[in-house]
Amino acid sequence: MNDNDKELLAKSLAALQIPKTHVTVGLSNLIASNKDVRSLLIHRRLPDSGWSDHEIQWFLYTVATLDTNLKTPISSKIMTTSSNSSSVRWCGVGEREGRVYSNLVAQRHFGLSHGVGRSGDITEPQPKAVGSSVLAKLTLLMVMDGVRRGSGLHAQTAAAHGILLPLCTGMSMALVLSSLRESGATSCSNTKERDVVLWSRIDQKSCFKAVTAAGLTCVVVPTARNGDCVVTDMDAMCAAIKQYKGRVLAVITTTSCFAPRVPDSVDEVAKLCQEFDVCHVVNNAYGLQCAVTCKRINRACVVGRVDAVVCSTDKNFLVPVGGAIVMSPSDTVIHNIGTMYAGRASASPMVDLFITLLSMGLSGYKKLLEQRQVMLTTFPVRLNQVAEKYGERMLACPSNSISFGITVDGLARPRRRDEDENDYLQAVEKDISRFGAMLFSRCVSGTRIVPRCVTNTIGGQEFLGFGSSCDDYPHAYMTAACAIGVGPDEIDEFLVRLDKTFKEFKKKQ
Amino acid sequence: MNDNDKELLAKSLAALQIPKTHVTVGLSNLIASNKDVRSLLIHRRLPDSGWSDHEIQWFLYTVATLDTNLKTPISSKIMTTSSNSSSVRWCGVGEREGRVYSNLVAQRHFGLSHGVGRSGDITEPQPKAVGSSVLAKLTLLMVMDGVRRGSGLHAQTAAAHGILLPLCTGMSMALVLSSLRESGATSCSNTKERDVVLWSRIDQKSCFKAVTAAGLTCVVVPTARNGDCVVTDMDAMCAAIKQYKGRVLAVITTTSCFAPRVPDSVDEVAKLCQEFDVCHVVNNAYGLQCAVTCKRINRACVVGRVDAVVCSTDKNFLVPVGGAIVMSPSDTVIHNIGTMYAGRASASPMVDLFITLLSMGLSGYKKLLEQRQVMLTTFPVRLNQVAEKYGERMLACPSNSISFGITVDGLARPRRRDEDENDYLQAVEKDISRFGAMLFSRCVSGTRIVPRCVTNTIGGQEFLGFGSSCDDYPHAYMTAACAIGVGPDEIDEFLVRLDKTFKEFKKKQ
Amino acid sequence: MNDNDKELLAKSLAALQIPKTHVTVGLSNLIASNKDVRSLLIHRRLPDSGWSDHEIQWFLYTVATLDTNLKTPISSKIMTTSSNSSSVRWCGVGEREGRVYSNLVAQRHFGLSHGVGRSGDITEPQPKAVGSSVLAKLTLLMVMDGVRRGSGLHAQTAAAHGILLPLCTGMSMALVLSSLRESGATSCSNTKERDVVLWSRIDQKSCFKAVTAAGLTCVVVPTARNGDCVVTDMDAMCAAIKQYKGRVLAVITTTSCFAPRVPDSVDEVAKLCQEFDVCHVVNNAYGLQCAVTCKRINRACVVGRVDAVVCSTDKNFLVPVGGAIVMSPSDTVIHNIGTMYAGRASASPMVDLFITLLSMGLSGYKKLLEQRQVMLTTFPVRLNQVAEKYGERMLACPSNSISFGITVDGLARPRRRDEDENDYLQAVEKDISRFGAMLFSRCVSGTRIVPRCVTNTIGGQEFLGFGSSCDDYPHAYMTAACAIGVGPDEIDEFLVRLDKTFKEFKKKQ
Amino acid sequence: MNDNDKELLAKSLAALQIPKTHVTVGLSNLIASNKDVRSLLIHRRLPDSGWSDHEIQWFLYTVATLDTNLKTPISSKIMTTSSNSSSVRWCGVGEREGRVYSNLVAQRHFGLSHGVGRSGDITEPQPKAVGSSVLAKLTLLMVMDGVRRGSGLHAQTAAAHGILLPLCTGMSMALVLSSLRESGATSCSNTKERDVVLWSRIDQKSCFKAVTAAGLTCVVVPTARNGDCVVTDMDAMCAAIKQYKGRVLAVITTTSCFAPRVPDSVDEVAKLCQEFDVCHVVNNAYGLQCAVTCKRINRACVVGRVDAVVCSTDKNFLVPVGGAIVMSPSDTVIHNIGTMYAGRASASPMVDLFITLLSMGLSGYKKLLEQRQVMLTTFPVRLNQVAEKYGERMLACPSNSISFGITVDGLARPRRRDEDENDYLQAVEKDISRFGAMLFSRCVSGTRIVPRCVTNTIGGQEFLGFGSSCDDYPHAYMTAACAIGVGPDEIDEFLVRLDKTFKEFKKKQ
């Protein structure tokens, strides 16, 4: 919108008999919108204030217009237009031309249909889809800015470079590992011989499976206990690195997890990785919401080696499931991940993130982070109060600020004199699980009940005490999270329902 | 979009690492869209080819941005933004600031909320709502263009000037009559004494009521019969004008109606009106789809007097109910209608028409008109075939090309010897009406069954033979329309179901 | 959703291998939604808590399905379906079948296209449009409930009966007056002779024009001044009633207006109307947000006569412009308004209100009212502070709680010695108006600047001192409203900008 | 909707004063919609006729209601609701609760936000997301039905079992290979030693990269030439299997490809794979649109071994990029793919497919397939005509019915006497490529220009004559596709523009 444009528009509106003074005011609105867009294009940062939905849609429609082959959905082609060949602007004679059959589908993607990336690299712009390419680039730049200025991962450390993947955290982890293996990210001569990944135990299936999907062998490094906390066992880690020497491609640590597991000592592991020249990948699935965790990762990048940090977009930015952001101090690592992705991908997770970031703005994102901080000042205390009412207590894991555990040992009935221990344990496990079901049926979602002594097998590997990330945690417990986006009224209600459920359970017992 | 703009955009995209060649192609798409918009703004005519939904939405969002006070819906105001006063671009301290509570509502109006018009004139631009004003003006210009180039009302005659009203045909008629009375459209010195409207009988309630709503007295001028047709009784009309001399404000004729009523002799009436210096308003509710009717109105404007032609937007342009277009050879008449409207009005009917016209383009509109013509070549013949199968026949009303009637006299059972005639007629009326209900329950909508000798009272006035627009039409009959938008498959199905219903009815009898 | 349904759904989901426990939880959600709908259908009241947008849309789609002829938009008919006649469920052979050309249009109306009402009565259900009819009825019931439980108009008084009109306040007023005239609402034998409406002066065009549009003569009854306030002149009113005895159809009073005009003494006028047996219509355009005003109207209904209360939907319920709610203690009055409307009407304003009311719930509506009350505790004080800073002061009109005025006499430069008084006044008027333009260019909308001694002509009638509703108000002044929906941040910003504008204006002077 | 429901609804509508006859008709519409849904739930097949957009949206909103935690988007939480804890139906205290920040995002997903799958298996239903789970299951069942009844892959052969992946073809291929390796799909004792994949050369990057991403080694098996066609070299394939004996995990063949490459002899390869007990994966990216190809795959499953057939959803069903359908004769193979996926995934590609399939119905899908067949009767002939006009000719590859090639040797200028051959070839390559750029700038997308003798390196492997899938194809050529969804007007325009471009190119030369 410049002087010529304004003149033309002003002239047109005058011809429509809109008074000049009105036009001036109207144009000032349009110019204000254009300014926002211009500012986004020039600074390529998360805007300080969020945009309105109106502005976002206007921009999306504009951006989509840049795409080639923005055609009318096939189901809308009326006979009247088909004879009217002058209306064919683009003829598509490829095997994939971004044609969309349904109106509803075209509408929900704002006309974008080409996905993102090319067969060679998921970050590569598509000639047919300039709009999608622009959107993908801007989304990445905005989320990196948000991570730096909002979450606190530094541009000098982990948030130096980044890539958005339309994959969940697990599959992203697989892709990262594959690319590290293929690109010889470690300095050893023959990385193909590096077929082992060391994994500081965290009882969650996706990550373990990711290692296998990448064609690598996962070696589980046991954790240690420190008071109530389940922590990184640095000695075991060191021993494992030495044991698999020459075969270790990478160590995986985890920084967001269910209590009583606490975030891994990423800095200590980072030092070890540097010393032994192996890669270090941090599974930071939903850790961006925690300033302390981000600081710890910053430090790890400074004192040792971190190759990649993998974060979920849905858990951190409140979009539907399906995307991940991978960050790294190294440009090369990020580049290699992009080229490892085989084919084009759905742009949908990026569209969601694009809209959400524009809608939040930096201030909105910060408010969400602050709101969680405010909730944290009372949640653990109040949770503990409910627990104590029923003879239980909170597990003391101060370094996990997202997930909180309370013991539920008292939910187990006493062992009958003549009862076989195994039978007893199984019966008790069932009982305790019922507590979770009761909460769920009262519309409480997200709690986890972990009885003692459950064994689970994943990919042929047996896990004792599954759920607590260590072989024999001395308590049955329940966890609940105080995660980004949770509202005070939800917390209030949760505590009320938890209380009621305890009462009812005890009564039945 | 000019050189400076293109340069800036090109630079920004380059900064996003989009290759130059891609950018060129993308920009060419954007420029093509801009060209369409520019062409619309410069020529202010119905585009020849329709626009895509994508383009229409993009334009709507752009236009709405011109409105002042385009605010985030109230229900979406999150606490985070309220403390952030820098985001308040407009402060509204009037009693009506276009605030919208619900997201869904804001969304369905593309952010437009100020309606159209001002208290002084419904066509007046609003300072706060440049976008809505632009939209209203463009819609009027496009529909007038479509009426001229598509329907065939001439710019030299009835389609010289026009106004869009967010009112149905009836209420528009009331407004037209009020404005004619107030503005002294007739040359007599004291129009306030002109309190009578002559109405060539047409059995439809809205128009009759419209006269009353305007504070005028409706005098029903009877029709005549000519073969099967119910036609204008010119002698009666002439006599009425003379009878109410000095009190007649206007004559209302109707050009779209149910068979066997045929369009009024608007040209003859027009001559009479000119001679006697009274206004002439044509109720052309759904007549724009009929070229013959439009020609007749053109002629009327040439040979005599026509003050206003009132047409429905939904029946002619396939939008939801709620709008009318009033046209006139006289700029003053149109202007006075605009100033008579008391207050601002819903922009929704205009938004619908705006979208629809852009979506159709002139070619799409013409195709719809042609498609109806094609259907007309067989519909009456086939309808007659079904009628004859059951001993009925088509009513010969060739000058009504939209509505078609077939006799259904045979549906009446013979009168029993001892039966009172009145009782018989009432019983038969019920029987025949049941035929319509049977069709409806077979999912046929829009047929009308008119038994003989029904009497109805509207506004205190009694109408004998109500439905057929004359006192004693000699047949019971059923009508069906071949209106714009009806598809060949619907017609096929209708004929099949009509046949079945006849068969079933006869069997039961 | 009953046992059979649940069983079928449960069986189907089981066949899809969804575990039974999940199904139970899912069904409980669906049942909760169904409960809300059921509750709405059974109690037909404004729900206490608002519904989510999801729930509202689901219900709208369900309701629209009840409409006959819910067809695929014409522009979406692909060749593939036309040969497939089995898909034709409804064949429409009427002249108006609710066909919609554009997808976008169909979408924004949720498939509803038949409008509301029938030619005989705007409240009559349409056979083809059960969904639209249900929606119209429910919207009316909900808004009446909201008015009673939220605004405080009583079911025993003004809010006994009501009707929704898809017309602005002005046109609704015209319709009310027409229907009062036609239905002989006054007890005199020949209401047709009642052609005069007395109008307690309020300088706003729509209402005055409405009287004319209804074919009636508007007699302006002057106001009186009481301190700063412009109030009802009961003596003048009484005199006028006597003067036009036998010709007075109705008196119009106004209860929401710009300061320094305050709400009319509706109770006193009501007594007078009862005494003299004339109708009394209250223009309560945006008065539902003010509890005091509603109380006053309640009292008027008790102590005297009120025939109708006309309120805007957009100004009171934050929907786009275009609807009104008319209420009356008398069922007959309301019924007659419905039958006076000539034809069917756009359902769009009702859809907006339906969505908005469901979204608000009673609690949301009350919150908005309370929020305004909170703002009222400081707004006048702060406005006065700004005024006093520049030697002006607030006009003391405590009975107008919506609009507030401050003098702006100081904006006028002193008269030059040799200057003609008229020239001076005109020059000063221009100067002062510039103050309003300055505010608007700073993105402040809604203020009104009223210089002294402006004359305006509406419909041939001259108004001295136009704007202040009295001939010679002794101040130039500016008004600003504290209306429903305004946010604290807007008020803050407004006061800042007002201050700046004063400063700048003074400096230039 | 059963008798009780109908009764309640009928009663409620009666209370709203909707006449009984109207209610009956309205209910019949609702019941018809319910029947469609019921039929879908009971038969779980692609409906014969497509659904309307209205019906689809209604069903989507209903399905989404089954999800737990269907919350109002965070940016819409108004202060008014937070104090109203009774409105909290679900409290979410997990680390991921499907919260969505933006309204626009919630809207485009119809409220669904939980994605599909669980960490253990992507096909596993989620307790929190019954709606998403139902949608995923139904989409799979419908697409399998469409593939069987529309495309012609048999339920007895390749289309016995299937899985939908929200991944492109390439990444799906990687996942299939990983799962074959991990699950020991071959009968050999130690599948971990099976690290080689034989790949019948096809010059497309994604598939080659997919092998690497899975941690396997890709061995390129050269193709052979047969006339103009590039075909499977069965001897080379046999030799390769023998050479890598014991290490070969799988052979990959391709059945949809650019001319002059023709579909691989999948039946012959299938026999070989059976004989040597190695897996056989068919890359059938966009082959579902070709009946001949589907037949060939059916046969391959009968005469030999096929483990998996990978197809793109966007290329075959006209949805935006991002999904794949993998089919197999073996339930186990499909199951293992599902469990290999590490984590939950975006549901967006499934939502697109769900909508599209419901919108098409079987008849719509078949119409699209037929329309392509019709176009095929003239496209090659007409393309050849243009080619011959400029001294070129069509490449004779009758077994590729999707992609067609014409020689463009004549676009190369003759070699200058003194010119180095390499320099010449490079210059000529550039020249010829320019032809493609010219077409693109004339808004023709999808053609591929393949000059002779281009070398490309992918993942360290060099490919001579890249583009033609063989080392030294004797022609430079251009390809164009006649793919599903292309319209006759596009083809017409393409041929016109191709002609013009040839003319212009020749002139410049």
CA distance A88 to chain C (A): 17
Mean pLDDT of chain B: 91
A91 touches chain D (CB under 8 A): yes
Q: How confident is the model at residue B82 (pLDDT cuts 50, 70, 90)?
A: very low
- Would the CB atoms of B75 and D79 count as touching at under 8 Å? no
pLDDT 10s digits, C462-509: 999 899 999 989 999 999 999 999 989 899 999 999 999 999 999 987
Chain D CB contacts of B24 under 8 Å are 441
Can you give the pLDDT at residue C189? Answer: 46
pLDDT grade, residue D388 (50/70/90)?
very high
Task: Tell me, yes or no, if A107 comes closer than 8 A to chain B by beta carbon.
Answer: yes
| pLDDT value of position A189 | 46
Who among D21, D24, D440 is closest to B25 (CB)? D440
At A397-421, the pLDDT tens digits run: 999 999 999 999 999 888 888 888 8
Nearest neighbour of B96 by CB, restricted to C56, C209, C286: C286
Q: Which residues, in sequence order, are bridge partners of residue D324? A: D165, D312
Q: Which of A21, A24, A78 sits opposite C75 (nearest CB)?
A: A78
Q: Is A57 on the interface with B (CB under 8 A)?
A: yes
- Closest-CA residue of A relative to D119 is A206
| Mean pLDDT calculated for residue range D114-141 | 91
CB B296 within 8 Å of CB B255: yes
Those of residues 178-237 in D touching chain A at CB distance below 8 A are 178, 181-182, 204-207, 209-210, 212-216
CB A45 within 8 A of CB A142: yes
Which residue of B13, B58, B134 is in closest CB contact with A61? Answer: B58
Confidence category of residue A287, pLDDT binned at 50, 70, 90: very high
d(CA D367, CA D487): 12
Residues recorded for chain B: 509
Whole-number Å distance between alpha carbons of C204 and C221: 14
Average pLDDT rounded to a whole number, residues C34-59: 91
Give the percent of chain D with pLDDT over 70.
Answer: 94
Q: Is B338 on the interface with A (CB under 8 A)?
A: no
| Residue A29 or residue B293, greater confidence | B293
How much is the pLDDT for D83? 39
**Tokens representing D4?**
């009780």
pLDDT tens by residue, C169-186: 999 999 999 999 988 755
Pairwise CA distance, residues C247 & C278, whole Å = 9
A330 pLDDT above the threshold of 80: yes
Query: Residues C75, C76, C78, C84: what is their CA dihedral angle, to the nearest 10 degrees?
Result: -110
d(CA D386, CA D393): 9
Q: What is the pTM assigned to this prediction? A: 0.94
- Residue D185: predicted pLDDT: 55
Evaluate if residue D132 carries a pLDDT over 70. yes
Least confident of A326-340, B173-187, C203-217, D296-310: B173-187
Chains that contact D by 3+ CB pairs under 8 Å?
A, B, C
What pLDDT does residue D310 have? 98
Q: Is B433 on the interface with C (CB under 8 A)?
A: no
Residue B283 reports pLDDT greater than 90: yes
What is the reported pLDDT for A477?
Answer: 96
> Which one of B128, B206, B488 has the shortest CB-CB distance to C342?
B206
The pLDDT value recorded for residue C19 is 80
**Which of C93, C181, C495 has the most B C-beta neighbours within 10 Å, making it the best mutation to test the interface with B?**
C93
Measure the CA–CA gap between B500 and B489, rounded to whole angstroms.
17
A39-48, B82-91, D75-84: range with highest mean pLDDT: A39-48
Residues A112/A132, Cβ–Cβ less than 8 Å: yes
Banded model confidence at residue C315, pLDDT cuts 50, 70, 90: very high
pLDDT confidence of residue B185: 55
Count CB pairs under 8 A between chains A and D: 411
**If you count residue pairs, one on B and one on C, with CB atoms under 8 Å apart, how many are there?**
409
CB contact under 8 Å between C130 and D5, yes or no, is no
Mutation pick from B103, B108, B433 vs chain D, by most beta carbons of D within 10 Å, is B103
- D212/A182 touch (CB, cutoff 8 Å), yes or no: yes
Closest residue of chain B to D29, computed from CA coordinates: B443
- pLDDT in the model for residue C454: 81
Percent of chain C with pLDDT over 90: 72
| Model pLDDT, residue B4 | 65
Q: CB contact, 8 Å: D57 with chain B?
A: no
Q: Is B84 on the interface with A (CB under 8 A)?
A: yes
Of D22, D52, D126, the CB nearest to C127: D22
Q: Is the pLDDT of residue C396 over 80?
A: yes
Q: What is the pLDDT of residue C4?
A: 65
Which positions in chain A touch B27 (Cβ < 8 Å)?
66
Q: What does the pLDDT read at residue A38?
A: 85
Q: What is the pLDDT of residue C191?
A: 57
D489 contacts A85? CB cut-off 8 A: yes
Does the pLDDT value for residue A77 go beyond 70? no
pLDDT digits (tens, 9 = 90+) for C189-207: 455 689 999 999 999 999 9
D58/C contact by beta carbon, under 8 A: yes
C58 touches chain D (CB under 8 A): yes
Chain C neighbours (≥3 Cβ pairs under 8 A) are A, B, D
Report the residue of chain A nearest D216, measured CA to CA. A215
Which residues on chain A are in Cβ contact (under 8 Å) with B9? Answer: 41
Of A139-148, C225-234, D71-80, D327-336, which range is least confident?
A: D71-80
Omega of the bond prior to B260 within 30 degrees of 0, cis? yes
Least confident window among A84-88, A253-257, A439-443, C325-329: A84-88
Q: A165 pLDDT band (50/70/90 cuts)?
A: very high
The answer to whether B437 contacts chain D (CB < 8 Å) is yes
Mean pLDDT of A168-192: 81
Query: Is the distance from CB of C85 to CB of B493 less than 8 angstroms?
Result: yes
In 3D space, the residue among D195, B253, D314 whose CA is nearest the CA of residue A105 turns out to be D314
Residue A89 has pLDDT above 90, yes or no: no
Residues D400-450: tens digit of each pLDDT? 999 999 999 999 888 888 888 888 888 888 889 899 999 998 999 999 999
pLDDT at site B262: 98
Closest by Cβ to B42, choosing from A12, A29, A58: A12
* Res. D189 pLDDT band, cuts 50 70 90: very low
Q: Which of B49, B62, B43, B110 is nearest to B352 (CA)?
A: B110
Higher pLDDT, C301 or D79: C301
pLDDT of residue B69 exceeding 90, the answer is: no
In angstroms, the CA B170 to CA B311 distance is: 10
- Rounded distance, CA D484 to CA A99, Å? 9
Q: What is the pLDDT of residues A457-476, one digit of tens each?
A: 887 889 998 999 999 899 99
Q: Specify the amino acid at residue B117.
A: G
The model's confidence at residue B81, banded by pLDDT at 50, 70 and 90, is very low
Residue C76: list chain D partners with CB under 8 A. Answer: 53
D91 touching C (Cβ < 8 Å): no
Closest CA–CA distance from residue D104 to any residue of chain B (Å): 10
Dihedral Cα B385, B390, B395, B398, nearest 10 deg: 0
Task: Look at A205-209, C390-394, D373-377, D452-456 and tell me which has the smallest mean pLDDT.
Answer: D452-456
B367–A79 C-beta distance less than 8 A: yes
Report helix angle C53-65 to C130-146, nearest 10: 140
ipTM of the complex: 0.94
How much is the average pLDDT of A200-211?
94
Mean pLDDT (chain D) is 91
Tell me, what's the pLDDT at B28?
A: 78
* pLDDT of res. D452: 85
A25 and C103 in contact by Cβ < 8 A?
no
For residue B312, give the amino acid letter. S
Pick the residue with more confidence: D236 or B13? D236
pLDDT at position D151 is 97
Of the partner residues C5, C29, C138, the one whose CB lies closest to the CB of residue D67 = C29
Closest CA to D386 of D505, D260, D246: D505
D4: confidence class by pLDDT, cuts 50, 70, 90: low
How far, rounded to the nearest angstrom, does the alpha carbon of residue B351 sit from its chain's CA centroid? Answer: 15
Share of chain A above pLDDT 90, in %: 72
What does the block give as tokens for C83? 């040969």
CA distances in angstroms from B390 to A222, A285, A366, B509, listed in the order given: 90, 76, 78, 13
pLDDT exceeding 90 applies to what percent of chain D? 72
Q: Where are the alpha helices (DSSP H) in B44-160?
A: 53-65, 79-82, 103-108, 130-146
Of all helices (H) and strands (E), which one includes residue D61?
Answer: helix D53-65
Contacts of A62 in chain B (CB under 8 A): 30, 58
Q: Is C87 on the interface with D (CB under 8 A)?
A: yes
| pLDDT tens-digit map of B255-280 | 999 999 999 999 999 999 999 999 99
D424 touches C: beta carbon within 8 Å = no
User: What is the model's pLDDT at position C8?
Assistant: 72
Distance CA B266, CA B200 (A): 10
The verdict on B9 touching A (C-beta cutoff 8 Å) is yes
Q: Which chains touch B (3 or more CB pairs under 8 A)?
A: A, C, D
In this structure, of A440-444, C349-353, C424-428, D382-386, the range with the lowest mean pLDDT score is: C424-428
Q: What percent of chain B has pLDDT over 70?
A: 94
Contact D76/B75, CB-based, under 8 Å?
Answer: yes
Q: Does C101 touch chain B (CB under 8 A)?
A: yes
Question: If you count DSSP H runs as helices and E runs as strands, how many of each does chain D have, helices first?
Answer: 17, 16
Asked if A178 lies within 8 A of D53 by C-beta distance, the reply is no
Identity of the residue numbered C399: S
Q: Who's near B420: CB < 8 A, 6+ residues apart?
A: none
Query: Which band of pLDDT confidence, cut at 50, 70 and 90, is reported for residue A3?
Result: low
Q: Which chain A residue's Cα is nearest to D89?
A: A443
Higher-confidence position of A27 and A169: A169
Coarse DSSP helix, strand, coil percentages of chain B, rounded to the nearest 5 percent: 50, 15, 35
